[in-house]
Amino acid sequence: MTDEDRPRTRADGSGRGGGRYSGPVHGTWEPRPAARWEDAFLSGNGTHGAMVSGDPDDDRVIVNHHRLVRPNGSAGARPPELADRLADVQDRLLAGDVTAGEDFTDGRPLLWVQPFHPAFQVRLRRPAREPGEYRREADFTTGVVRSVCGERRSEVFVSRADDVITQYVTAPGPTAEVTLDHRLPGAPADLAVEHGAVPTPEGALLTLCARYPGSDLSYTGITLLLTDGAVRPGPSGVRVEGARSMLLLTRVRRHPGDLDALAELRSLRGLLPRAGRTAKSAGHAHARLLARHTALHRAAYLRVTLDLGADPAERALPGSELVGRPRSPALLERLFAAGRHHLLSASGTLPPRLTGLWTGDWDTAWSGAFTTDANLNLQTASAAAAALPEVTEAHAALVHAQLPHWRDNARAVFGTRGVLAPAHTDGESGHLYHFTRAYPLHVWSAGADWLLKPLVDHDETYGVRDPRLAAALAETALFYEDFLTRTDEEGHLVIVPSYSPENRPANASWVTANAAMDLSAARHALRTAAARCPGPDSGRWRALADRLPPHRVNAEGALAEWARPGLLDTYDHRHLSHLYGVWPLDEINPYDTPRLAEAARRALELRGAENDSAHGHLHHALIAARLRDAGRVTDSLGKVLAGDFFHASLMSGHYPGRRVYNADAAHTLPAVLIEALIQSTPRRLVLFPARPAGLPCGVLRGVRTRFGATADLVWTPEGASAVLRPDRSCHVELVTPSGTAPLSLDAGEDRVLTLGPPP
């Protein structure tokens, strides 16, 4: 039986007819409504997001939209014009002035990107009833959040097919008040808000238009209500009497000037059946919308599944109780499932932000931005292997839309052709303006390669060649061709100025020379561009890559964060930028570069956790998996699982104790588990490189490899097996716990590999 054939299950694992489903749980549930917005269950389609509290008397659905960023004066900010000062700072840094880069700025104060914020909450208030049996559940296979209390029932999902937030309510009570309420934590007191509520043949149209303080920009929320009850307009909503059901369809638009509300109304009406205002018409419209959405969401979500043979009793626990059992395989199963669901749901118009696609507070940490020097790539790390091309397509949309701004950055800061990517973006501007003395992000030159690498992985995985990617790679190579003009005493090119996010040497300032990440990125970008863009330029790019210096191993036997001699490492830091050559690149690995791999392993051993941020622990685990260090993978995972990082929603916090709502842990954890069980390059397949302790058996299905095959893994204490289903013929090196051997695959022919017990 395939995953598509399995009977639908409740979020606690119970199937129809009262039976118990033995497979992993594709959802989560709680026995009470969400008292905090952080615990609200999540649904999304990559553009709109919904956070559902599930209160039967005062239900709140917080509405989010990827494009909602608050104007803060940074929309027109430009990169600093520093190119005419570049030669001077290079001369001083190469002469040994370790603080020369501190004045390589234009003196501007720190300017944050425009902060992400929620739109409003759709609020449904009804007279309180006697307490009864209550259940709130999220079904990851459909994206539906359901709450049931006695006869009262609500189902919310965000349609991937029709881009609308849908809430279907049955038995709403004798009276119900529906309002669009902007009063969320941190909302500006001077936010100019206008409400509208007018009767329509379907029921009512509710609008909320909010104009940002000091700006001509606004956003408008529109909710079309379909009900068989009597509708009476109110001050900021409507009152519905005698309804048996209600269907609410909600969209948000950010816009200058006035929005054409009639056009939006016509668009929403087009989603409804032509029957009259009846209870059946609301149910019929809901069923049709759900079927169209589920066909897209379910197929994507179920491409990859993980079954760790967990205890059925633990699988049946509510999420808030299960997260208190950090050693439970059932917890890893559910977090893997939740991470896939949330990552898919947050990816569409744009890839996930620091908060995914959701927030219930206007004061989002770090502006709720896309932080590209670590967090964005960590969150999307599973996209290729976990068969989520939707995530990579969203990532590509962000990158390609901002390339003109990347060109401006390269010209302004370094006076070069090509592209220079920012470390922070709000999704609108790709201009580089967020930097300070202690965070000189404007001199970080590795960003373009770092952000293009997932697109390269996607092309390798699916055997395609995106011409847009080839053009972007060529522009990255052009940047290095103009930028790499300085040499050292041995004739190697020097990357100067250079920066290792977000660290500094123990004996120098932040701006230095030859940061390990910059070296790896330059080599990879030049060689990849040469391979993807054959022609007269490719030879020059390869020659440039060959002239870059090798990595340095320091006195502690560790791969140094700065290859420039004399710069001392600072070990207690959350970022692991210097190990970029290990993950996500394949530059340093135990098979081709064992000496450097050992130095990288030593660097990982010496690295501290600084402030225990979740992204630091899971970045550590990804690198450890590439280095075949199962102990470190287990330890890093354990710190996250035991650190109280996960809310009842199974969205995560940035710090232990669920401090600072943040998607890093939730979205990155599936990538860690996949990397620990299976890794691939276009020429190599590695099985069971770093299986975490405490997982004696399991089944991982549907993983995609970068040589064009789908892989299923099964393991028990007695032995393991793999089934490969290649889309194209290839020859790869197979690495298993028992050794290395060549492997030939023919397109369309399944290959079964029988292995010994995994380590």
In a domain, 284, yes or no: yes
Range of 9-18, 21-30, 288-297 with top mean pLDDT: 288-297
Q: Which is higher by pLDDT, 260 or 179?
A: 179
At 9 the pLDDT is: 37
Task: Give me the chain's average pLDDT, please.
Answer: 94
Residue 153: band (very low, low, confident or very high) from pLDDT cuts 50, 70, 90? very high
Mean pLDDT of 651-677: 98
| Residue 176 placed within a domain | yes
CB 98 within 8 A of CB 90: no
pLDDT value of position 301:
98
Mean pLDDT of 694-704: 97
Secondary structure E strands in 108-229: 120-125, 134-139, 144-149, 152-158, 165-170, 175-181, 192-199, 203-211, 217-227
Which residue is it, tokens 């052709």? 417
Q: Counting Cβ atoms within 10 Å, is residue 265 exposed (0-12), middle (13-18) or buried (19+)?
A: middle
Q: Give whichever of 38-52, 167-181, 231-245 has the largest mean pLDDT.
A: 38-52
Name the residue with higher pLDDT: 274 or 595.
Answer: 595
**Confidence band of 11 (pLDDT split at 50, 70, 90):** very low
Determine contact, residues 3/340, Cβ cutoff 8 Å: no
The reply to whether 38 falls in a domain is yes
**Measured distance CA(446)–CA(444) in Å, rounded:** 6
The answer as to whether 745 is a domain residue is no
Residue 15: band (very low, low, confident or very high) from pLDDT cuts 50, 70, 90: very low
The DSSP result for 667-719, as a single string, is: HHHHHHHHHHHEEEETTEEEESSSPPTT---EEEEEEE-TTSEEEEEEEETTE
* Cα distance between residue 93 and residue 90, in whole Å: 5
pLDDT for position 278: 62
As a whole number of angstroms, the distance between CA 566 and CA 569 comes to: 10
Q: State residue 279's pLDDT score.
A: 59
**Within-domain flag for 239:** yes
Q: 10: pLDDT confidence band, cut at 50, 70 and 90?
A: very low
The reported pTM is 0.95
Q: Is the pLDDT of residue 566 over 60?
A: yes
Instruction: Report the pLDDT value the prediction gives residue 5, as an integer from 0 to 100.
Output: 31
Angle, helices 630-641 vs 329-345, to 10°: value is 80
pLDDT in tens, 491-542: 999 999 999 999 999 999 999 999 999 999 999 999 999 999 999 999 999 9
- 156-170, 253-267, 697-711, 725-739: least confident range: 253-267
How many angstroms separate the CA atoms of 729 and 342, rounded? 34
pLDDT greater than 90 at residue 670: yes
pLDDT in tens, 426-443: 999 999 999 998 899 999
In a domain, 35, yes or no: yes
Rounded to whole angstroms, how far apart are CA atoms 686 and 735?
5
pLDDT category of residue 4 using cuts at 50, 70 and 90? very low
Range of the domain at 230: 30-69+116-301
Assess contact for 115 and 162: CB atoms under 8 A. Answer: no
Helix and strand element counts for the chain (H, E): 16, 31
Q: Identity (one letter) of the amino acid at 297? A: H
- Residue 489 preceded by cis peptide, ω within 30: no
What is the tally of structural domains in the chain? 1
Question: What pLDDT, on the 0 to 100 scale, is given for residue 306?
Answer: 98
Q: For residue 420, what are its two tokens?
A: 């220079």
In a domain, 24, yes or no: no
Mean pLDDT throughout 141-149?
97
Give the amino acid at 301.
Y
Report the relative pairing of strands 698-704 and 709-716 from DSSP bridges: antiparallel
Over residues 689-697, mean pLDDT: 97
**Confidence at residue 16, expressed as pLDDT on a 0 to 100 scale:** 31
Listed in sequence order, the residues at least 6 apart from 492 whose beta carbon sits closer than 8 Å to its beta carbon are 547, 548, 549
Residues 225/202, Cβ–Cβ less than 8 Å? yes
Give pLDDT tens digits for 641-656.
Answer: 999 999 999 999 999 9
What does the block give as tokens for 612?
Answer: 């225990």
639 Cβ partners below 8 Å, 6+ apart? Answer: 609, 612, 617
pLDDT at 759: 84
State the residue for tokens 């090119």.
493
Asked whether residue 169 is domain-assigned, the answer is yes
C-alpha span between 83 and 410 (Å, rounded): 9
221: CATH: 2.70.98.50
